[in-house]
Structures are given as C-alpha cells and as structure tokens.
Amino acid sequence: MIVPVTSQEAQFELTFDNFALSGLLKRFAKQITGRSSRLQSLTELMHHAAIENRHEVGLRTVPVHQIKGTLDRMDDFDSDFHPIREGSKDRWVRIAKALYDGKSLPPIELIQAGDVYYVVDGHHRVSVARAMKQRYIDAVVTVWTLRPTEVLDTCRCTYVC
C-alpha cells in the first residue's frame, strides 16, 4: 500500500535533510580543525572507570544541551545528535511529526555520570529535540558514580571525577 506524503511530512523530511546536512558540514569543519565530532561513549569511558555506585532517580526534566553521550550509538549520531545515517530518516520524521501533533512520547532513558548524560534509549528523540531547539526533555535517569581505574587525561577526567 502506498501512503501519500503530506506537505507536513515533506516539511519534516526537509527539516531532517537540513539538520543532517548541517551536521555533515560541522563534522567536516571539526575534522579540519582536529576536533572530535563523535558522541561521548559511556562504553569507552567504562574502560577507564569502574561503577562505584548507581541508583535510579526516576523521571526528570533534563536540559537537552547536557546530553552529550551514548551507551552504544556513536556511529549513528554525531556529538550534536545530527543523524549520520540516512536510514534514520523515517523514524526521525515520525517522531518530529508526533511532537508537532502534540502526541505524548515516552521519556528517554539516560545514565548520568558527572555532569554528562548518556542516552540508553531515545537517540532519535534527542536528535529531533535538538533540531527543533527544544530546551528540555523528559527522561528516566539513572545516576552512576564512577571511580577511575587508571590515570585519565584531563579531558576524560572531567566526566568521571
């Protein structure tokens, strides 16, 4: 069955394309200047730290700009949650349309380590929130207190200590 594309849907597809293109340009600029455009990886961080304590704090409203990492999706989104893969488009557009229509979406799932939030579930929702300049997002948050297991460089230590 062929589903017709509405003008509203076409607008969200254009928003996705523009957001993805701006991400591509930013990644290129960062590459030229030697800066990383990868999402921070909680999995990689765990190679240098051990969980000292963890506890769920429940539903929170989290500033979108503090969500800077992921548990395991570094290849799907860049450091600003621009989608890297075209395959994300359909899901991204559905989420954008649902938000626009005022539909309630489930909270995302985050792990907080230090001042950084890492996405466990909800990467597309964070990406749409960033594209739409949303300042806050609802999330179920689990806080991890980490202890370095080896000497870390200054950059990484700010996320652990």
Would residue 50 count as lying in a domain?
yes
Tell me the residue range of the domain where 151 lies. Answer: 7-160
Residue-by-residue pLDDT tens, the chain, 161 positions: 555 556 777 888 888 888 877 778 887 888 788 887 678 888 887 777 777 888 999 999 999 999 999 988 878 898 899 898 888 889 999 999 999 899 999 999 999 988 889 999 999 999 999 999 999 999 999 998 887 776 544 444 444 44
Evaluate whether residue 99 is within a structural domain: yes
Q: Which two tokens stand for residue 24?
A: 């591509």
pLDDT of residue 17: 83
Considering the domain boundaries, does residue 2 fall inside one? no
pTM tops 0.85, yes or no: no
Residue 20 tokens, joined:
């993805």
In this prediction, residue 161 carries a pLDDT of 42
65 within a domain of the structure (yes/no): yes
Tally of domains within the chain: 1
Q: Which token pair is 82?
A: 């621009």
Is the separation of the CB atoms in 92 and 47 below 8 Å?
no
CA dihedral 40, 82, 54, 157 (to 10 degrees): 20
Answer whether residue 110 is part of any domain: yes
Residue 1 lies in a domain: no
Q: Is residue 143 part of a domain?
A: yes
Q: Is residue 54 included in any domain, yes or no? A: yes
